[in-house]
Amino acid sequence: MCQSINHHEIVGSFLRPEPLKKAREAYTAGVISGKELKEVEDQAIKELIAKQKAAGLKVVSDGEFRRSYWHLDFFWGLAGVEHTLMEQGYLFQGEETRADSARLVGKVAFDPSHPVFDEYRFAAKVAEGVPVRQSIPAPAQFYAELVRDTNEAYVDRFYPDREVLFEDIGRAYRETILALYTLGCRQIKLDDCTWGMLVDQNFWQTMTNGSFDPTALQEIYVELNNRALVDLPEDLHVMTHICRGNYHSTWATSGGYEPVAATLFGRETVEAFFLEFDDERSGGFEPLRYVPADKKVVLGLVTSKDGQLEDKASLIARINEASAYIPLDRLSLSPQCGFASTEEGNILSEEEQWKKINLITEVAQEVWGLQGVPAV
């Protein structure tokens, strides 16, 4: 039986080690070649996967070490999409992101040379039989980027009919997912900030200049994500991570899951939800009542935003509190997000990062033992 979700989990990204940071800076400055950068990336990924295995993780990632962003690098790899710069980046609490974005230059389509395939091939080879979970940004996230500010004019140029765009996004994603499956990938996680943005009305009113219809957007997002997941192989496990922004230890939005819970939990056709619950911005566990009995929930109770280690007893108490809505055997524990959603990384040390991973394993051992969540 495939155990796709374990009781001690990771989200996926890790702090970039110093040699990798320096190599990327040197590559950007034209000092080293792409081949030389890849050699540094390869070594860093080998070391990271070894550390994950040593920490007792049952599923590993490449740390997203080949990416600058958790989402944009993937978008740029699709046919019909180009890298662009906006007038400003995303506005987080007290910080503005870099201004990179993705816009259309043609019809959206699958690209067999997409970098994600080499990412997976290398990680799977290094992992030597330990499952590699491949993280990709959700289709809804892609759409949100395409219609962001001035990008939308390019969408209008190629897709006067939005339904055709939705069809092309769904097809491109589904073909990418199936290509990963052909390479041996059996676990895919869709990272998705769109739902985390929808729970914060003030954020979206700013983003859309006051034009905000949360009900319509929910329908678009759930439909987009589900189109990519139609008729997939039974042994391919797809899950999603919902985020409110994770950039250099800052956040973008606040709000509990209640406004989106019925649609997101009740209708999105994934098998598990990785959910932020590391502070009061995420609200309470009550919206988990919408999660169907055949779905699992990974509680992101351990923050990746700072190095302070959580109290073990408090984590166990919160897990037990969540079990009032989801049976304990369908719950797991993880960080609330990755440690480096972008190459900047969050403000903590690598040592603190691994202490958090070890804490998650220790808590899981006390609460559940180290078996995976049973298939349901």
Chain segment 340-372, per-residue pLDDT in tens: 999 998 999 999 999 999 999 999 999 998 654
Rounded CA separation 302/230 (Å):
33
Chain segment 11-62, per-residue pLDDT in tens: 999 999 999 999 999 999 999 999 999 999 999 999 999 999 999 999 999 9
Residue 204 has pLDDT above 80, yes or no: no
Tell me if 253 sits within 8 A of 209, measured CB to CB: no
Chain segment 244-271, per-residue pLDDT in tens: 988 888 878 889 999 999 999 999 999 9
90: phi then psi, degrees, rounded to nearest 5: -70, 145
pLDDT at 211: 64
Tell me if 334 sits within 8 A of 302, measured CB to CB: yes
pLDDT at 375: 41
Burial of 91 (0-12, 13-18, 19+ CB in 10 A): middle
Q: Is 132 helix (H, G, I), strand (E, B) or coil?
A: strand
219: phi then psi, degrees, rounded to nearest 5: -65, -40
Tell me what the mean pLDDT of segment 150-167 comes to.
97
Q: What is the CATH architecture assignment of 18-367?
A: Alpha-Beta Barrel (3.20)
Burial of 177 (0-12, 13-18, 19+ CB in 10 A): buried
What are the domain boundaries of the chain? 18-367
What is the token pair recorded at 323? 């079990």
Burial of 18 (0-12, 13-18, 19+ CB in 10 A): exposed
CB crowding 283-305: b at 16 or more within 10 Å, else e: bebebbebbeeebbbbbbbbbbb
Closest CA to 251 of 286, 199, 318: 199
